[in-house]
A and B are shown apart, each in its own frame.
Chain A
Amino acid sequence: MQKQLVRCTINGKETETYVDVRASLTDMLRNEYKLTSVKKGCEVGECGACTVIIDGECYNSCIYLAIWADGKNIRTLESLLGPNGELSDIQQAFIDEGAVQCGFCTPGFIMTALEILESGREYTREELRKQLAGHLCRCTGYENIYKAVEKTLKKRKAQSANK
């Protein structure tokens, strides 16, 4: 079995480990780092359940080789956890809007939502639909997910205006 050293920053922490060259980034994050918010859904780039942020951009970690993570900055849903286990605004909005049912798709959706929230732009509903189109949800019918993201966008905008 061929292994390779991967040094990267995961959720703000510098890490290094030897990984099997056959591993996907999903495999590495779940198995080596126990970051189980990264879900194994379709494993062929269709459903978005495995979405993580690499150097500021969302990727399907199932079709990204773990060895490519060397030198990268990676964020998963776990990075949102507050010091005392608090939820972030976007997670709370998902709960409040009924955007979570079984929850399997949620971590992925929230990572893309994060990229949207941090872009500092405004979005029409149409643009939001396009930005979130790389995720499948079997339960919610999507409407509440769009509402949760829109609500958080508005809230963050109001907060930054008050500053």
Chain B
Amino acid sequence: MYDIEALYEATSEAEAIRLMQQYPTAKLIAGGSDILIQIREGKLAGCTLISIQKLDSLRGVSMDEDGTLRIKPLTSFSHITKDPLIKKHFRVLGEAVDTAGGPQIRNIATIGGNICNGVTSSDSGSTLVAYDAITELTSPDGVRRLPIQEFYTGPGKVALKPYELLTAILIKKESYENCEGHYIKYAMREAMDIATLGCSVNVRLSDDKTIVERMRVGFAVAAPVPIRAKSAEAAAKGMPVSCKTINAAAKAALLDVSPRTSWRASKELRLQLVEELTKRAFEQAIILAGGEL
């Protein structure tokens, strides 16, 4: 038995929001793979829950008329990886979430929960940040959109207002078009482990594949929240496809990160990983985009 005070099950988005208004101290639960663990640990013992697990309208991936990818928050990691639209347009996200936990966790964990927990080690966060994802937030006041970098406000903190529900993660066409990405998770174990550092790089090359038109890089566990490394991106933009460009970008990434020492790894190791993983992920992204090194 879980130490739960009361549980209310929403049958629609509107009802979920109404329940949040009615029970302002209640916690939302989606897949439960964070919340239920925290109840077991005692951190959230005795809480009241509002379950959105059964809201199938918030599941799946679709495309808006303007080509924007719409990823609904309750989509599980395994369904993201299997989804045809993700495979075609945003393969790196499917690969990134496929590194999380183990197979059962990937059937349970939702992508919405993975960013709403505000955790820096999230296996989806660095890739979403690197693709300029936009969060769609719905409340009694209506729907607003917020870039994911502004959605993350601090360790374990996000910009959700009371009574606000994440209802979609959007990726604009210009963000994924002609773009290839690669994610590397560095962890102590190959499975069932949280990232020591995560690095997600994507590139768009010139038509002749010799110039890096755009390079974007996101990190997990390199700062209190998933972050972009703008100095690295500036160092790569417009430069020839070459090892020199890769090395320069990887060095520049060090200017943007602020990793800490934790029981998993020292700050020094993480800094080394920032540089090394940027190199490797950048190189792989170039190769995927058809570039030669």
Contacts and interface: CB of A to CB of B under 8 A. Distances in A.
Interface of A: 2, 4, 20-24, 27, 43-46, 48, 51, 57-60, 63-65, 67-68, 70, 112, 115, 129-135
Interface band, chain B:
20 to 34
Contact of A63 (B9, B37, B102): B37
A112 B103 contact: yes
A20 B4 CA distance: 10
A59 B107 contact: yes
A45 B191 contact: no
B104 A60 contact: yes
By secondary structure, the B interface counts as mixed
Given A58-B104, A65-B36, 8 more contacts: A2-B6, A20-B1, A22-B7, A45-B37, A59-B107, A129-B190, A132-B103, A133-B102
Contacts of B101: 45, 134
A57 to B, nearest CB: 5
B103 A63 contact: no
B108 A133 contact: no
A44 B41 CA distance: 9
B194 to A, nearest CB: 12
Contacts of A27: 1
A65 B51 contact: yes
B33 interface: yes
B32 A134 contact: no
B53 interface: yes
B112 to A, nearest CB: 16
B2 interface: yes
Contacts of B78: 57
A58 B103 CA distance: 7
A51 B104 contact: yes
B190 A23 contact: no
A63 B192 contact: no
A157 B11 CA distance: 43
A45 B190 CA distance: 17
A134 B7 contact: no
A23 B1 contact: yes
Nearest to B98: A130
A24 B37 contact: no
A126 B4 CA distance: 40
